[in-house]
Structures are given as C-alpha cells and as structure tokens.
Amino acid sequence: MNSLANDRAARLAEIARETRISIVHTIDAPRMGHIGGDFSVTDILVTLFFDVMRYRAEEPGWAGRDRFILSKGHCSAALYSVLARAGYFSPDLLASFMAPLSPLNGHPNRRKVAGVEANTGPLGHGLPIAVGAAVAATISKSDYRTYVVLGDGELQEGSNWEAAMFAGHRRLEGLTAVVDRNRLQQGARTEDTNGLDPLDEKWRAFGWEAIVLDGHDHAALLDAFEAPRIGKPRVLIANTRKGKGVSFIEDRVEWHHKVPSREQVALALEELAG
C-alpha cells in the first residue's frame, strides 16, 4: 500500500471506531436496535460515505449525487450515525432514535430523513430499487453511481435474484452491490438455514463481476470500489463479523437485536475507546 492509501485507510478506521461508539449511544437511548448488523456494516458505510461517494449533504436532492440504499434497513442506527456525521442532520437528533414522533424510525424513511434514498426494512427491496436507479442513470445519461448494501440472510428473498438477473442483462456498470456476508441472520447461521455458498459464483452466473474481500479492511474496500469497471454490475462479497468491534458481541447469534445492558454498554465503550 502506498502512503496515500495508508492515510485514507487509517482515517476511515478512526471514523469507523467513532461511528461504532455513536451506534452504542444511539441504541442505548431507546434500548432497541440491531447492534450486530450495525457493527458488521459500519466499515462498509464509512468507506462509502467518507471517501467513495459523491453527495452534497446541504442539498440532499442534488441530481448528480451518487445513490445509496441500505437494503438491510434494520441497521438504521449505523446509517443514521453516518448521515449525521456527513452533515445531513444534527448529531443531537440521534438521541431521539425510535422515540415517538422522531423522524429516526427503526426503519429508514426517505420522507422523514435527509440522505435516505429509499424506504427499507422489509428485506428484499433495496436491490430492485437500486437497479431502477441505475437504469434511470443510463436513460438520463447521468454519471451518478448507485450503491446498495444487502444482508446475506436477506438474499433468501427471491426478488434479489430477479433484480440481479436484470442488472446482468442490462450490463449496469454504474451499479455496485455490497453483501454484508456475516454468515448470520435472525436466530441462525445462514448456511444452516438456506446455504448461500458459493456466493460469488452465483452472482457471476447472473452476469456480475464479483469481488470477495474482507469487509472490515478499508484499503481493500477502497480498491474494490475504485477498480476499473468491466462492463458489468459489480458485487462485493464483504466477509464480515456480526458485532465486529466488541468482543462479547462478535459472531453471536443472539446479538442480532439484543440490547446491551447498562454494564455491557460501559464495557463496549471501553473496548471501543481505542
């Protein structure tokens, strides 16, 4: 890695650490949330929002913005933490997460929160919407790119594979999907439920370029997002650990939506203190 790449990765690692701290506080306020999936997707979101993507937080509807869709919408605390830091709204608002009348619902709502491109939560819809956005870019001859982050358990929804097939057929070069491959879904391991492996080969068979990488390695993520396009939609199979960053939360099925006790919040913050 050259020194510029090193600097970029180190900056992102620090932002990711601070984002995980923000997620702990955000979930601690209502004592609800999905900390495992928030932590597995943090490095992916941070790399996209703080290095890769083009947007204007002060003008959320700017036509030239890259489109971003968090299809695994239950991980809203991670998305809101990143959007606040990016300047879409005040970080003070995070304290209202899931409170009655707060715009920060458990699932992101585009009519309530600046920077949210599509309503998600019911799994299986982000990729079809992203494919539509990428087709729209080709029709309008716009050069924006479209990014969508999917859960691996989410891939059991058949709508994903219809959308994948069409994106491959249309050779949607402006589209990048990231699969948060943490190998856990709600209450079980993906491979015990409805196995996905070999996942990269499945996407290739649908006409996609597939890159397998460590989803917590910021330098690898930057390389994969920025690699020259080859006339196909691209998917990053990002191998991650659910709960990444806090030892007692990592890779444990119960932390899909378990909320840390007050003592565990303190312990988590201690581990994340760096």
Ligand X SMILES: Cc1ncc(C[n+]2csc(CCOP(=O)(O)OP(=O)(O)O)c2C)c(N)n1
State the residues that interact with ligand X by CB under 6 A.
34, 36-37, 40, 72, 74, 121-124, 151-154, 180, 182, 184-186, 242, 256
The pattern of x and - marking residues 184 through 213 that bind Mg ion according to CB under 5 A reads x-----------------------------
What residue number has its CB nearest to ligand X? 151
Return the number of the residue (86 or 196) whose C-beta is nearest Mg ion. 196
Is position 182 an interface residue for Mg ion (rule: CB under 5 A)?
yes
Is position 151 an interface residue for Mg ion (rule: CB under 5 A)?
yes
| Stretch touching Mg ion by CB under 5 A, among 96-104, 149-157, 160-168, 212-220 | 149-157
Return the number of the residue (123 or 172) whose C-beta is nearest ligand X. 123
Could you tell me whether strands 234-239 and 209-214 are parallel, antiparallel, or unpaired per DSSP bridges? parallel
Return the number of the residue (142 or 159) whose C-beta is nearest ligand X. 159
How distant, in Å, are the alpha carbons of 126, 144, 211 from that of 227? 23, 16, 10
Look at the block and give the residue holding tokens 């058949």: 158
Token pair for 252: 């444990």
| Stretch touching Mg ion by CB under 5 A, among 180-188, 203-211, 230-238, 257-265 | 180-188
Using CB under 5 A, which of 28, 43, 117, 152 touches Mg ion? 152
Is position 115 an interface residue for Mg ion (rule: CB under 5 A)?
no
Rounded distance between C-alpha atoms, residue 18 and residue 12, angstroms: 10
Least Å distance, CB 186 to ligand X, is 4
Q: What residue type is assigned to position 142 of the chain? A: S
Rounded distance between C-alpha atoms, residue 22 and residue 18, angstroms: 6
Rounded to the nearest 10 degrees, the angle between the axes of helix 159-169 and helix 126-139 is 20
CA-nearest of 124, 170, 143, 8 to 67 is 143
Burial class of 229 by CB neighbour count within 10 A (0 to 12, 13 to 18, 19+): middle
Rounded distance between C-alpha atoms, residue 39 and residue 36, angstroms: 5
Token pair for 100: 């009655």
215 makes contact, choosing from ligand X, Mg ion, none, with CB < 5 to 8 Å by partner type, with none
Is position 153 an interface residue for Mg ion (rule: CB under 5 A)?
yes
Least Å distance, CB 35 to ligand X, is 10
Return the number of the residue (79 or 137) whose C-beta is nearest ligand X. 79
Helix (H) / strand (E) element for 239: namely strand 234-239
Least Å distance, CB 180 to Mg ion, is 6
- Summarize as ranges the residues that interact with Mg ion (CB under 5 A): 151-153, 182, 184
